[in-house]
């Protein structure tokens, strides 16, 4: 059986014995989603990179921390990522990067299809939204990231956050309200409505 056909827990077992191919496959399967989550939560590619590296370092150094009875490897990795992100946010709640696009590896459309003005405007909009998302308290930000950016269902978001669905809905509701207010403020547009009213 090829490595790419193996289950995550099997790959982890091989990786724990030093199998680089198995580890690489495991890394490729999960790094992007973990990186995106960390990037959207921290707003900093450097921090996201540090978080992802830290998560997989943990996997290398302490593979026995994973308990198959408690869930999938992906959920285990996401749990570590979430803890690292939250710790990072506690340390530096408003750390914002000024050079996201330089390092994030985010998708860019081919430059020849876009005018500089379009790119500048788009970049400005992305920066505004990112700043607005970063301004949310971590719990609300996580709900917005998971439900709006990752487009997970409430059940999936609740499972990832380790809280009840009602809590996620409540956090999302508050997060949306704050986000709308923040975005309108950034756009310098008077608020038209507030969910909290």
Task: Kindly list the residues in this chain that would bind another protein in the complex (CB under 8 A).
Answer: 15, 17-18, 20, 23-24, 27, 31-32, 34-36, 39-40, 45, 48-49, 52-53, 56-57, 60-61, 103-107, 122, 125-126, 128-130, 132-133, 144, 148-149, 151, 153-154, 169, 173, 176, 179-180, 183-184, 191-195, 197
* Cα 143 → chain centroid: 11
Q: Which is nearer to another protein, 18 or 70 (CB)?
A: 18
- Least CB distance from residue 127 to another protein, whole Å? 9
3-state helix, strand, coil in the chain (%, to 5): 75, 0, 25
- Least CB distance from residue 102 to another protein, whole Å? 11
- Least CB distance from residue 197 to another protein, whole Å? 7
Separation between Cα atoms, residue 164 and residue 154, nearest integer Å: 9
7: left (phi over 0), alpha (psi -120 to 50) or beta: beta
Separation between Cα atoms, residue 145 and residue 127, nearest integer Å: 15
Q: Which is nearer to another protein, 83 or 104 (CB)?
A: 104
DSSP E strands, the chain? none
- Least CB distance from residue 69 to another protein, whole Å? 25
What does the buried/exposed string (b/e) look like for 52-61 if buried means 16 or more CB atoms within 10 Å of the residue's CB? bebbbebbee
Q: Which is nearer to another protein, 7 or 28 (CB)?
A: 28
- Least CB distance from residue 138 to another protein, whole Å? 17
* Cα 158 → chain centroid: 15
Q: Could you tell me if 37 and 81 are in contact, meaning their C-beta atoms sit under 8 angstroms apart?
A: yes
Q: Which is nearer to another protein, 42 or 89 (CB)?
A: 42
Q: Which is nearer to another protein, 70 or 113 (CB)?
A: 113
């Amino acid at each position: 059986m090829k490595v790419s056909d193996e289950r995550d827990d099997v790959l982890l077992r091989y990786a724990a014995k030093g199998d680089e191919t198995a580890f690489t496959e495991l890394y490729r399967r999960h790094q992007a989603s973990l990186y995106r989550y960390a990037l959207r939560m921290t707003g900093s590619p450097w921090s996201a990179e540090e978080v992802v590296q830290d998560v997989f370092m943990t996997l290398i150094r302490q593979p026995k921390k994973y308990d198959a009875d408690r869930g999938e490897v992906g959920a285990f990795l996401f749990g570590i990522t979430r803890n690292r992100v939250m710790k990072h946010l506690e340390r530096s709640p408003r750390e914002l990067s000024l050079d996201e696009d330089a390092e994030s590896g985010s998708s860019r459309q081919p430059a020849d299809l876009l005018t500089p003005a379009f790119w500048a405007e788009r970049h400005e909009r992305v920066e505004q939204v990112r700043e607005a998302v970063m301004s949310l308290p971590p719990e609300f930000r996580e709900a917005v990231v998971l439900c709006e950016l990752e487009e997970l269902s409430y059940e999936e978001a609740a499972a990832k956050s380790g809280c009840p669905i009602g809590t996620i809905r409540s956090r999302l509701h508050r997060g949306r309200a704050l986000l709308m207010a923040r975005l309108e403020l950034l756009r310098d547009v008077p608020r038209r409505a507030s969910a909290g009213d």
